[in-house]
Amino acid sequence: MQGENLKRIESDYGADTYQRTFHDLGATAEKTLFKNVLLYAKVNNLLNSKVEYYIKKYSGTQESISTSLSFLVGLKYNL
């Protein structure tokens, strides 16, 4: 879970933009294939959580972003 945090500071007092608390779950795995070769995989946002931004000075949500599952797979070679 990621807690509330400041995303943008505005010159107007109290109009700063914050990100609401949301659940964020990811996983990483690595496997050595050979002496110098490593296979890795990373997955983000397994819960498919929505990220919302708001301004404390005003009530309600300013912006709501739907994020999606993302993944990365690769090979690493050590010299």
Which structural domain range is residue 25 located in? 5-77
What pLDDT score was predicted for residue 59?
67
> Smallest Cα–Cα separation from 52: which of 41, 61, 43, 39?
61
The contacts of residue 72 (CB under 8 Å, 6+ apart) are 40, 41, 42
What is the domain count for the chain? 1
Kindly report, residue by residue over 11-33, the tens digit of the pLDDT. 777 778 888 888 889 999 999 99
Instruction: Enumerate residue ranges in the chain where pLDDT < 70.
Output: 1, 58-64, 66
The CA distance from 73 to 79, in Å, is: 20
* In 1-79, beta strands by DSSP E: 5-8, 17-19, 27-32, 37-44, 50-55, 63-66, 70-77
What pLDDT score was predicted for residue 54?
79
What pLDDT score was predicted for residue 28?
96
